[in-house]
């Protein structure tokens, strides 16, 4: 598993903190190389991180902007990305274990809270219950244009 992290200028300090902490713990984590500037655009960071996440099904992404909403919307435009905006450890758990999220997005959190959320996301297993898998498969089929359930 590889981790990818990116943020716009509003999340740069939090991004760097999480990156450093996860690196200390031995995680294989990569930071986006797109420079942050006061005029940067969050979709660029979402597309960069999510493109890397899609290279391997085991990869995960972490995105940070002012509040996590815009960057999560952009992330979900990348094929095979299921990004959830999260604000708690419980959100992170459900996003991954129930919804198969491979990317989380947030913003406006303390360093301590953000790190706890990210660790919960990383440590939570992907779905194994049939009902969750069935729902994720419907999303994947719709994304591929093969869902006929409507």
Query: Active site residue: 65, 80, 83, 132, which one?
Result: 65
Give the C-alpha separation, 46 to 51, whole Å: 8
Whether 150 is covered by a domain: the verdict is no
The separation between CA 60 and the C-alpha centre of its own chain, rounded to angstroms, equals: 6
Residue 75 lies in a domain: yes
To the query of whether residue 65 is one of the catalytic residues in this protein, the response is yes
132 catalytic residue (yes or no): no
Domain assignment of residue 120, given as a range: 3-144
List the catalytic residue out of 9, 93, 98, 132. 98
Judged against a pLDDT cut of 90, whether residue 59 lies above it is answered with yes
What number of other Cβ atoms are within 10 A of residue 148's Cβ? 6
- Per the domain annotation, does 149 fall within a domain? no
pTM above 0.75, yes or no: yes
**pLDDT tens sequence across 69-103:** 999 999 999 999 999 999 999 999 999 999 999 99
Q: Give how far the C-alpha of residue 26 lies from the chain's centroid of Cα atoms, to the nearest Å.
A: 19
Q: List pLDDT tens digits, range 8-54.
A: 999 999 999 999 999 999 999 999 999 999 999 999 999 999 999 99
The answer to whether 44 and 75 are in contact (CB under 8 A) is no
DSSP structural state of residue 34: S
pLDDT at 150 over 80: no
Number of domains in the chain: 1
CATH number at residue 131: 3.40.1400.10
pLDDT over 90 at 56, yes or no: yes
Supply the mean pLDDT for the chain: 96
Contact 148, 94 (CB under 8 A): no
Q: Does 99 fall in a domain?
A: yes
């Amino acid at each position: 598993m590889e981790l990818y992290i990116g943020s716009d200028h509003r999340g740069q300090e939090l991004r760097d903190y999480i990156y450093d902490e996860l690196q200390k713990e031995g995680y294989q984590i990569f930071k986006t190389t797109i420079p942050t500037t006061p005029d940067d655009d969050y979709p660029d960071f979402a597309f960069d991180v999510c493109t890397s996440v899609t290279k391997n099904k085991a990869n995960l992404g972490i995105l940070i902007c002012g509040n996590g909403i815009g960057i999560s919307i952009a992330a979900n435009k990348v094929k095979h990305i299921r990004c959830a905006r999260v604000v708690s450890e419980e959100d992170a758990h459900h996003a991954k274990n129930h919804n198969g999220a491979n990317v989380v997005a947030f913003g406006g959190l303390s360093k301590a809270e953000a790190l706890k959320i990210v660790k919960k996301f990383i440590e939570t297993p992907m779905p194994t219950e049939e009902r969750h898998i069935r729902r994720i498969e419907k999303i994947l089929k719709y994304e591929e244009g093969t869902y006929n359930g409507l």
